[in-house]
Structure 1
């Protein structure tokens, strides 16, 4: 997985939350292509790709609401996610916290763990009001990874997030969309929402050998349908 773009230090710490993460994740390949030129599985891991420093655009995206999803359950209080389950694509994975590096870039989940998802620890927690961001690899140096089949989800599929407070937040998939990384819709993906929503993100589309990166991002849009005790 390549690192996200430089030039955005302190931006997230100033309360920009998920809207600012959007500008980082566009350029952060949430996958690591296994192997090398001689490997049957593909190219070596993509290097860091530079993203433009556009905090003004991030602020504008945060100030506008994302398109409304179907009516959902009342938002939950803040609580860290501990496990992600998506029965339809056989996902059952623990969470790791994602942080920023010194350049203000979002660090990726460890590239050597194929069954791990990452959540930006200073952003919205899954179940809390707003757009919670969860990223995962589509492949790693060890082969196919946790979000390999993410693009196969359908509207109505369920996503369960276990939380540290002993609750399970159940989300319903609204849509699955693919966006070119160089035309990523920050506002649609990371804009403010009045209810609890979830964004699952990985890489997709064509793997560009010259850029050593996937050209697209796959984004799952989901809303909080219900919650229950674990």
Structure 2
């Protein structure tokens, strides 16, 4: 008769593997992202965050000094992941209007991402109480997007495809024209974010206005 294994022999031996600190941080940030999105910043407690991540509050405070630091880290982490795919490359084969429209679409894909808009809404709601949150969100997201666009514009100026005196100022203006109105409509009026087709159409209109202007022909 074959020998059956006892219940004790079926159990894995030794202690369960210990999570690394980086893995624990990742789990905490994901738990925080979910909690902040569902309950908002003010209503989320550090005890809930620790429980959601399956750790003690002592461990949470060892990793992040407080809720504001955790929120900042969560925003920076999400924006870093999104910005890792944000690559504005020159396409010398396409005409400048097509190239500019494509670049504006890339900026809108980031700025009008539902998660980014949700984070921005949360930051605005808490900015009076926690002003550093707004400053950090601007630095980690908005300013980096504008800097990337300014770099692309600088490259186009160097290739004499466009002429601009101040590429940094122009980048801010272009992003404002492309995404500010849809962002405000979503954040303040609760309207639906534009679809991909609507974003592409808006980018073509913005590119035409930026390159050609809209002044009527005089007689």
Which structure has more helix as a fraction of its residues?
2
**Which is strand-richer, 1 or 2?**
1
Q: Place the TM-score, normalised by the shorter chain, in its bin.
A: under 0.3
Q: Give the alignment's TM-score, normalised by structure 2.
A: 0.26
Larger Rg, first or second structure (1 or 2):
2
Point out which structure has higher relative CO (alpha carbons under 8 A, 6+ apart).
1
TM-score by length of 1: 0.25
